[in-house]
Amino acid sequence: MAPSSSLHRFANPARFLRLAAVVQPWAAGLTIAALIAGLYLGLIASPGDYQQGETVRIMYIHVPSAWMALFCYTNMALASAVALIWRHPLADVIAKATAPIGACFTFLALVTGSLWGKPMWGTWWVWDARLTSVLILFFLYLGYMALYNAFDDATRGARAAAVLALVGVVNVPIIKFSVDWWNTLHQPASVVKLDGPAIHPSMLWPLLLMALAFTTYYVWVLLLRVRAELIGRRVRAIRLRQTQVR
């Protein structure tokens, strides 16, 4: 079977809605469970850092938010590519639904990063490579959403936004490797390393639990937004047909 036909087979809105109805409660339940466990371990059970003290607990929100900012944008760009190349019926909807979620994660990463940077660096903001590229990522999200709604023709808006998403994906590896390519104040990677995590298990486990909670939250909210978009399009199509009949 050709790749495009396989993609369209799984793009049937009715089939997607049935699948979403099954996955959504599990995603919601896992989000709540992982969030409670992660917050308890991160804010209560885990120790403070010998250098940063209690301010290190911002890490349990900041780091997963930064991960999800990149994860969401990568998903949005992939969905945009599928929508442009194969005209996948749901890819455009998934990209559109992902944008505000990713923008919220990026904003949260910027805010918590500033809160964390103030006691560590003595300033709320520095124009280093990591922080500046994440700020650009936030503007890319905003630009995608603005461009999507900038045209009277929804199809033209979707295509223009998809092109922007694909152009902006070059910023993802820049964010990831900026601390290795340039001399920045931002600390290098301490979890995903070739020689293993450079973080104590008492801090690593709550961090991973929060990352899991944020990931399943994304899945949960994405399904909600896609279902709402599909239902909204169906309602608009019915109203359009009624108008034409009259």
Pick the more confident residue, 197 or 141.
141
| 225 compared with 1, residue with greater pLDDT | 225
Over residues 202-243, the pLDDT tens digits come to 889 999 999 999 999 999 999 999 999 988 888 877 877 777
User: Could you tell me if residue 224 is inside a domain?
Assistant: yes
- Per the CB < 8 A criterion, the answer to whether 147 and 157 are in contact is yes
Answer yes or no: is pLDDT of 191 > 80. no
Span 29-64, pLDDT tens digits: 999 999 999 999 999 998 877 777 788 899 999 999
> Does 98 score more than 80 pLDDT?
yes
What's the confidence (pLDDT) of residue 3?
Answer: 47
Domain count, the chain: 1
pLDDT band, very low/low/confident/very high, at 120 (cuts 50, 70, 90): confident
3-class DSSP string for 190-224? CCCCCCCCCCCHHHHHHHHHHHHHHHHHHHHHHHH
pTM score, whole prediction: 0.89
Contacts of 55 (CB under 8 A, 6+ apart): 49, 116, 119, 120
End-to-end CA distance of the chain: 43
Percent of the chain past pLDDT 70, that is, above it, reads: 87
DSSP assignment letter at 49: B
Query: Residue 39: what pLDDT?
Result: 96
CA distance 124 to 165: 29
Contact 129, 177 (CB under 8 A): no
53 pairs with which residues across the strands?
A: 49
- What does the mean pLDDT of the chain come to? 87
Q: Which of 72, 240, 88, 28 is nearest to 165 (CA)?
A: 72
136 assigned to some structural domain: yes
- Joined together, the tokens standing for residue 93 give 């909807």
Which residue is listed with tokens 């904003």? Answer: 107
Asked whether residue 1 carries a pLDDT value surpassing 50, the answer given is no
Q: What is the pLDDT of residues 101-114, one digit of tens each?
A: 999 999 999 999 99
Within a domain: 103: yes
**Considering the domain boundaries, does residue 15 fall inside one?**
no
* Residue 6 in domain: no
* Partners of residue 188 on adjacent β-strands: none
For residue 209, the enclosing domain spans 58-184+196-245
Q: Is residue 2 pLDDT above 60, yes or no?
A: no
What average pLDDT does this structure show over 4-30? 80
Question: 73 in a domain, yes or no?
Answer: yes
Closest to 205 measured CA to CA, from 28, 46, 36: 46
Q: What's the burial of 245, exposed, middle or buried (CB within 10 Å: 0-12/13-18/19+)?
A: exposed
Model confidence pLDDT, tens digit, residues 175-185: 988 876 666 65
What lies within 8 Å, CB to CB, of 130 at 6+ separation is 175, 178, 179, 184, 186
Q: How far apart, in whole angstroms, are the C-alpha atoms of residue 141 and residue 175?
A: 15
| 192 vs 166, more confident | 166
Burial class (CB in 10 A: 0-12, 13-18, 19+), 24: middle
